[in-house]
Amino acid sequence: MPPRLIFHVDMDAFFVSVEELFDPALKGRPVVVGGQRHERGVVSAASYAARKFGVHSAMPLRTAAKLCPQAVFVDGHPDRYRDYSYRIHAVLNSFSPQVEMASIDEAYLDMSGTERLHGPPLRAAHALHIKMKSATQLNCSIGIGASRLMAKVSSAQAKPNGVLWVLPGQEARFLAPLDVAVIPGVGKVMERNLLALGIKKIGDLARLPDSELEERFGKWGLALAGKAQGQDAGGWFDTEVGENTVPKSISHEHTYNDDTASPDQLESTLMRLSEMVARRLREASLQARTIQLKLRYQDFTTITRAHTLPSPSQLDNEIFEQVRTLFRKHWKRGAAVRLLGVQASSLNGQAGASAQLDLLDGGKQQRWQQALSAADRLRDKYGESSVSLASGMKATFRERTHENPAALPGKNKPTP
* Positions marked active-site: 106
Per the CB < 8 A criterion, the answer to whether 144 and 164 are in contact is yes
Given the complex with another protein, which of 57 and 317 has the nearer CB atom?
317
The only residue of 39, 253, 358, 384 in contact with another protein, by rule CB under 8 A: 358
Count of residues that interact with another protein, criterion CB under 8 A: 19
CA distance 241 to 109: 7
Report the amino acid identity of residue 368: W
369 binds another protein (CB under 8 A): no
85 binds another protein (CB under 8 A): no
How far does the chain reach from its first CA to its final CA, in angstroms? 33
Q: Is the dihedral of CA 218, 220, 222, 224 positive or negative?
A: negative
Given the complex with another protein, which of 285 and 385 has the nearer CB atom?
285
354 binds another protein (CB under 8 A): yes
Given the complex with another protein, which of 198 and 352 has the nearer CB atom?
352
Q: What is the DSSP string of 84-136?
A: HHHHHHHHHHTT-S-EEEEETTEEEEE-TT-HHHH-SHHHHHHHHHHHHHHHH
How near is the Cβ of 238 to another protein at its closest, in Å? 20
How near is the Cβ of 49 to another protein at its closest, in Å? 51
The only residue of 39, 240, 259, 321 in contact with another protein, by rule CB under 8 A: 321
The only residue of 139, 193, 260, 325 in contact with another protein, by rule CB under 8 A: 325
Stretch that binds another protein, among 21-29, 87-95, 99-107, 350-358 (CB under 8 A): 350-358
CA distance 284 to 405: 15
196 binds another protein (CB under 8 A): no
The only residue of 311, 345, 369, 412 in contact with another protein, by rule CB under 8 A: 311
CA distance 271 to 274: 5
248 binds another protein (CB under 8 A): no
Strand 31-33 to 72-74 pairing? parallel
CA distance 372 to 19: 30
212 binds another protein (CB under 8 A): no
Given the complex with another protein, which of 201 and 324 has the nearer CB atom?
324
Per the CB < 8 A criterion, the answer to whether 384 and 252 are in contact is no
361 binds another protein (CB under 8 A): yes
Q: What is the CA radius of gyration of the chain?
A: 23
322 binds another protein (CB under 8 A): yes
* Site for another protein, rule CB under 8 A: 289, 310-312, 321-322, 325, 329, 352-362
